[in-house]
Amino acid sequence: MPTRIEYIQHLQDLAAAERAVAPDPDSIGKEKGMADDPKKTGLDRKLIAMNEPHEVRSWSYALGVTKQQLEEAVKAVGNSAEAVRAYLKKK
């Protein structure tokens, strides 16, 4: 399990990498859902969006699991972060 400081640094690295990528010309000016913005909080922290690469990376790192283990947990119990944590603790 990563330390809090390591996790914060990981999130900062992810945010920097997201900013470094040029925006898709087709998406400029279009409203995006909550899971598309790694800076948003609230419900975004309670749900795991497997279709968002930055969330998969962040949740995998935070939970100390591989992408495949995270996918298996989400398939088994849904995308609630609390349910996924509980599922992974049982394993």
| Chain segment 3-51, per-residue pLDDT in tens | 888 878 877 777 766 665 555 555 555 444 444 555 654 446 789 999 9
Give the pLDDT score at 43.
46
Residue 1, pLDDT > 80, answer no
List, in sequence order, every beta strand (DSSP E) within the chain: none
Give the pLDDT score at 48.
92
71 φ, ψ (degrees, to nearest 5) = -60, -45
Give the pLDDT score at 84.
94
| Chain segment 59-69, per-residue pLDDT in tens | 999 899 999 99
Q: pLDDT tier at 88 (50, 70, 90 boundaries)?
A: very high
Report the alpha-carbon distance of residue 70 to residue 42 in Å, rounded.
21
* 67 close to 56: Cβ distance less than 8 angstroms: yes
Structure tokens at 15: 């945010």
Amino acid in the structure at residue 54: H
Give the pLDDT score at 5.
83
